[in-house]
Structure 1
Amino acid sequence: MKNQKGFTLIEMLIVLTIITTLLILLIPNLASKNEDVQSQGCNALKQLTENQLQSYVMDYGTYPASVSTLVEKEYIQSDTCSNGKKKLTFDQAGNNEIIIVDNEG
């Protein structure tokens, strides 16, 4: 008598085909959601930095020279978004507004 407890090769191939198809459909959706999450995280860092900028102004009576000063004085942990592609800086108009720009370095 044969041992009938295992799967046949055809059954295993069918299961692997189904799993592969599901992964092919799922992975592109995860990649697009990752960009949205990174963008929201960067916006949250911007909001936190704006709040900490006000704390800095209350403590020192003046605006810092750059956003990196807030990092140096430990008001924020980083001026770079978590994916490293964008960072925070003051706008060029000189009104101390924080903007998100591409990280060159």
Structure 2
Amino acid sequence: MKNQKGFTLIEMLIVLAIITTLLILLIPNLASKNQEVQSKGCNALKKLTENQLQAYVMDYGTYPNKVSTLVEKQYIQSDTCSNGKKRLAFDQAGNNEIIIVDNDG
């Protein structure tokens, strides 16, 4: 008879228990980092938009009325952060500074 090597049922259950334990520890950690990653992505979009705003001013000699004009003129692809909860807008003081605001307001 051949000597077959392989996992026994007990060994397989132990491996599955270890993998399950690692996943239980890892998933909450990933979820808590999501907000931080979204925030960094939104800040990067803000910096890109600020640079493209300067390119727009050099091309047209004036600031646009709203950030969405940069999207329409294809200076940026989107004025909304990747999670869709925040967007870019000009501040209300009228000094053409770009700020991050909630998408609903």
TM-score by length of 2: 0.88
Matches within 5 A, 1:38-77: 38-77=38-77
Of the structure 1 ranges 9-18 and 42-51, higher mean CA displacement relative to structure 2 is found in: 9-18
SS in 2 for 1:100: strand
- What residue is the counterpart of 1:79 in the other structure? 79
CA distance in 1: counterparts of 2:89 and 2:76, whole angstroms: 13
Structure 2: 5+ residue stretches without partners: none
Letter in 1 for 2:41: G
Q: What percent of counterpart residues are identical?
A: 89
- The two structures, once aligned, show a CA RMSD in angstroms of 1.8
After TM superposition, the runs of 4+ consecutive aligned structure 1 residues lying more than 4 A away are: 1-4
Letter in 2 for 1:97: E
Letter in 2 for 1:84: G
Shift of 1:22: 0.4
Letter in 1 for 2:49: T
> CA offsets per residue over residues 22-76 of structure 1, 9 Å max, x none?
0010111112223222211110110010111111111111110100000001111
Q: How many residues align?
A: 105
Matches within 5 A, 1:1-105: 4-104=4-104
TM-score by length of 1: 0.88
Letter in 1 for 2:74: E
CA distance in 1: counterparts of 2:3 and 2:104, whole angstroms: 64
Structure 1: 5+ residue stretches without partners: none
